[in-house]
Structures are given as C-alpha cells and as structure tokens.
C-alpha cells in the first residue's frame, strides 16, 4: 500500500489501521478487552 503514503513517509491511514486491528476479536481477547461483548465497535478517544 505504498501509494497511500505521502512523500514525507507518513501514512495518513495509520489510525485507521490501528482501529481496524483493535476491533479484531482475537486481539480483544488477547488484551482481555471488550469482555462484555459491547454491541458497538471500538472507537479511539
């Protein structure tokens, strides 16, 4: 996905990748997060 990167080397979608990763059930289980199975997706503050 190199075409997503700016010439400065900064990927403007980094926050989106992190959010998608933290929404994964296996990641939440590993972090002992969302153990109440909330009905809404993870959102960063």
Tokens representing residue 45 in the block: 């503050």
Residue 40 has a pLDDT of 84
Buried b / exposed e along 20-44 (16+ C-beta atoms within 10 A): eebeeeeebeeeeeeeeeeeeebee
Query: How many C-alpha atoms does 22 have within 13 Å on its Cβ side?
Result: 12
Instruction: Count structural domains, the chain.
Output: 1
Q: How confident is the model at residue 2 (pLDDT cuts 50, 70, 90)?
A: low
DSSP, collapsed to helix, strand or coil, labels residue 40 as coil
Range of the domain at 41: 1-45
Cβ-Cβ contacts under 8 Å for 8 (sequence gap 6 or more): none
What single-letter DSSP state applies at residue 4? G
Quick: pLDDT tens for 3-38: 555 566 677 788 888 889 988 989 989 998 877 788
Average pLDDT for residues 39-45, to the nearest whole number?
79
pTM greater than the 0.85 cutoff: no
């Amino acid at each position: 996905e190199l075409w997503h990167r700016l010439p400065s080397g900064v990927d403007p979608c980094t926050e989106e990748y992190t959010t998608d990763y933290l929404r994964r059930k296996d990641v939440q289980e590993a972090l002992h997060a969302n153990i109440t199975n909330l009905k809404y997706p993870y959102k960063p503050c």
